[in-house]
């Protein structure tokens, strides 16, 4: 069994998305202790900003005319695709940044789309495989809140991972994660703590379910 894990938080310490994803992975490991984990950390080791544009241009250039930079970008794109194709299940930890998808995750997705395995309109190379998306939000974005509808991260990721790539996607989410650090949110701290605990509980359940779904798919 192979699990692909993606982290996107720019924080090495104190990251809620990493901590909740750790809970998912621990539950997965309890079921598959010898499983291989492919880890791609875009938050701490982002792709070069020119990767997507260079790979896209290379795809429109005859092979004999490609530059060294274009060949390198194509090789990077192929490596990213191979990481996903090699996995039986997926753990994707992607926080909301400035109301939207982190730019380094968007670059990763755009680069993958330049490869045959993930080209728009074609069959997805990972369709039907199980995945858990962990996403966290610093503020409150639920129904009735002042920023309802401002989360442009989760809907986009659902479109890509579930609708475009065909993953069997489950989502673990929590919000108000900035309450402890923001004095203006002090009165929300008890609720934030409840939401975080609930997220870890759900994460453990989803890690167990992820392991079971892989076994079911393998039968």
Alpha helix (H) residue ranges in 95-188 = 103-113, 154-158
Residue 216 pLDDT greater than 90, yes or no: no
Range 21-50 average pLDDT: 96
**Which is it for the CA torsion 65, 71, 77, 81, positive or negative?**
positive
Residue 218 pLDDT greater than 70, yes or no: no
pTM score over 0.75: yes
Q: Collapsing DSSP states into helix, strand and coil, what is residue 174?
A: strand
Q: In the chain, what are the domains?
A: 2-218 (3.40.50.360)
pLDDT digits (tens, 9 = 90+) for 112-125: 999 999 998 889 99
**Residue 213 has what pLDDT?**
87
- DSSP letter for 169, please: E
pLDDT digits (tens, 9 = 90+) for 66-103: 999 999 999 999 999 999 999 999 999 999 999 999 99
**Residue 209 has what pLDDT?**
94
Residue 129 pLDDT greater than 70, yes or no: yes
Beta strands 89-93 and 36-41: pairing type? unpaired
Nearest alpha-carbon partner for 38 in 74, 99, 85, 73: 85
**Residue 219 has what pLDDT?**
53
Residue 217 pLDDT greater than 70, yes or no: no
């Amino acid at each position: 069994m192979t699990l692909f894990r993606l982290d996107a938080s720019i924080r090495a310490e104190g990251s809620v998305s990493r901590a909740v994803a750790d809970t998912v992975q621990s539950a997965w490991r309890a079921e598959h202790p010898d499983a291989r984990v492919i880890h791609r950390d875009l938050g701490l080791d982002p792709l070069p900003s020119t990767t997507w544009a260079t790979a896209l241009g290379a795809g429109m250039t005859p092979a004999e005319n490609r530059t060294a930079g274009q060949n390198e970008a194509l090789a990077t794109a192929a490596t990213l695709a191979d990481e996903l194709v090699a996995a039986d299940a997926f753990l994707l930890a992607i926080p909301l940044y400035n109301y939207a998808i982190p730019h380094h995750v968007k670059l990763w997705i755009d680069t993958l789309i330049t490869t045959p395995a993930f080209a728009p309109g074609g069959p997805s190379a990972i369709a039907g495989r199980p995945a858990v998306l962990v996403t966290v939000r610093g503020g409150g974005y639920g129904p009735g809140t002042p920023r309802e509808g401002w989360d442009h991260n989760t809907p986009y990721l659902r479109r890509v991972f579930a609708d475009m790539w065909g993953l069997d996607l489950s989502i673990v989410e929590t919000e108000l994660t900035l309450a402890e650090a923001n004095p203006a949110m002090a009165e929300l701290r008890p609720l934030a703590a409840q939401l975080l605990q609930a997220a870890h509980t759900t994460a453990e359940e989803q890690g167990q379910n992820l392991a079971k779904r892989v076994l079911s798919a393998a039968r």
